[in-house]
Homo-oligomer: A and B are copies of this chain.
Amino acid sequence: MGVKSFGDLFVEELKDAYDAEKQMVKALPKMIDAVGSQELRSALQIHLDETQGQVLRLEQVFNQLGMSPTRKTCEAMHGLLEEADSLIDESDDKLLSDAATIAAAQKVEHYEIATYGTLRAWAQQLGYSEIAGILQQTLDEETDADQTLNQIAYSLNMDAVSQSRNR
């Protein structure tokens, strides 16, 4: 389809975000099952619950625009998850694959921070203030999830470094 107005561009980006979140809801349980650290598992589980809420928020945004929720394949998220899978699979033990999982999850968070940052700015500029508020809630969650992963990464990576040195 052609993008003929700024509103069309907003809707295209919304469909991309909706597909990205759906891909995450499908991918996270497999990541959670493969994780070794209890702290990381809990954080990812919480983020899975949040992601399900983010899907519902996007459905609410589509409804407010009088549209049915529609997906448009998000190639970027597809690439991010494919890359995550291969790095995690190649890692020889749980400490290393947990470090790879955090790195991959932070790339996903940053992808979503950029996406929701754009969507929220576009919503404001289109005068959709209620929708901008809904998108801001998700943006805040993604930023917090990235911070939580930073904290977990620090202690977990120190363990991975000492383990690698002691071999």
Q: Which A residues have a C-beta under 8 Å from some C-beta of B?
A: 1-9, 12-13, 16, 74-80, 82-83, 87, 90-92, 96, 99-100, 102-103, 106-107, 109-111, 113-115, 117-118, 121-122, 125-126, 146, 153-154, 157-158, 160-161, 163-164, 167
Contact = CB atoms under 8 A, between A and B. Distances in A.
B6 A164 contact: yes
B122 A157 contact: yes
Given A3-B92, A110-B114, A100 B9 contact: yes
Contact of A92 (B4, B102, B157, B158): B4
Contacts of A16: 83
B82 A3 contact: no
Nearest to A13: B103
A158 to B, nearest CB: 6
A3 B163 CA distance: 13
A85 to B, nearest CB: 10
B111 A115 contact: no
A14 to B, nearest CB: 12
9 A-B pairs with least C-beta separation: A79-B79, A110-B114, A5-B164, A75-B79, A110-B110, A76-B79, A6-B164, A107-B114, A103-B118
Given A76-B80, A83-B74, A115 B121 contact: no
Among A16, A79, A126, find the residue whose CB has the most chain B CB atoms closer than 10 A: A79
Given A9-B91, A75-B79, A79-B78, A158 B125 contact: yes
B96 A106 contact: no
Contacts of A7: 164
